[in-house]
Amino acid sequence: MLAHPSQVPVRRSLPRVFAFFRSAAVLVVAALTPALGAEPARDTAVLPVDAARGEFTVVLLPDTQRYAKHHPAMFLSQTRWIRENVAALAIRFVIHLGDIVDDNTDAEWRVADEAMGLLDGVVPYTVLPGNHDFEKSEDGQRRVKLAPKYNAVFPPRRFRHQPGYGGHRGVTNENNYSFFSAGGRNFLVLALEFGPSDEVLEWAAGIVRQHADKQVLLATHAYMYDDDTRLGPGDDYSPHKSDLKYNDGEQIWEKFVRRHSNICIVVSGHVKGEGVGRLSSRGDHGNVVHQMLSDYQHLPSGGDGWLRLLKFVPAGKKLVVRTYSPWLQKFHDHPRQSFELELNQNF
């Protein structure tokens, strides 16, 4: 799966197509549904994490849009589980991959506020806007880069007292960055909006250059496809369907990711289909960049509560990836849901 950028085949395929009060949302109890796909999942209570040896976990929250709209109890179950397992799993950071809500309604944003609020003051986290978190154009056919409701619920001031919050681009929080330290390493988490423009990528490059001593985890909503390639021309879920100025995954790689030796991981959501994908590519400086897609919104109950756990094992230069549902209380064993990757030797 590892390839130098010049050796990665170019895919040619047919198109696959405001202030809020924090108040308790009315919870709708979602029905318990079968495990992911046709593959069996097993009951497992704990993912072993040896914090004494420097191991730690980063949690990914893929597209929660259907939970915010139809299954708020499932969204709450995810963040409650994270809150309750911060110590046991040495959870050092949580990343929401965008599409926090579905129809951008006040009711959905109240659910999101309540669910993510369970993490406030407990564990550092970041959010970023997916296409569904932006306003629709006048014709209702595409998304424009206006996110007043997102910024009302997740403004910079919400994060200013969060340990490690680094800052944001401009006066809003669509593009932001944070820091954390774990396992004897220092990390920069860079969160970029759906289809970041060239100007956003230039800003991001400046942040990465300023912190060349840190390992960078890049999160953006639309980057990987479910066929283990980066989003490119002709793909159904391309940001270009909203605006040609919005960069897709391949453009983000070429213009930004491959050029920086300290970017080690890229995570994204957005793409349904199989909803998972991964690719390891070598950047211009010889560093290996692991890129991952996780999106479960197409599954029963808007995703069955599946989230991604990234367990870092610094002593072994290893990244252990597991998919877990607090709602179903199960891990998923399919090799595209449960796998291990080698980290860069300079990690």
**Residue 171: inside a domain:** yes
**pLDDT digits (tens), the chain, 347 positions:** 454 443 343 343 433 333 333 333 333 333 333 333 434 344 444 589 999 999 999 999 999 999 999 999 999 999 999 999 999 999 999 999 999 999 999 999 999 999 999 999 999 999 999 999 999 877 666 677 889 999 999 999 999 999 999 999 999 999 999 999 999 999 999 999 999 999 999 999 999 999 999 999 999 999 999 999 999 988 888 899 888 899 999 999 999 999 999 999 999 999 988 899 999 999 999 999 999 999 999 998 889 999 999 999 998 899 999 999 999 999 998 999 999 999 986 77
The total of structural domains in the chain comes to: 1
CATH number at residue 63: 3.60.21.10
Domain interval for residue 142: 49-342
Q: Is the pTM of this model over 0.85?
A: yes
Q: What is the SS3 assignment for 245?
A: coil
Residues 6+ away with beta carbon under 8 Å from 145 = 134, 174, 193, 197
Q: Domain for residue 226, yes or no?
A: yes
Which residues are 281's β-sheet partners? Answer: 3, 289
In a domain, 201, yes or no: yes
Q: Residue 113 is encoded by which pair of tokens?
A: 């506020």
- Element (H or E) spanning 267, and its range? strand 263-268
> Is residue 30 assigned to a domain?
no
Look-up: residue for tokens 């002593």? 315
Q: Is residue 114 assigned to a domain?
A: yes
CA dist 270 and 329 (Å) reads: 24
Flag whether 161 is in a domain: yes
- 19 in any annotated domain: no
In a domain, 337, yes or no: yes
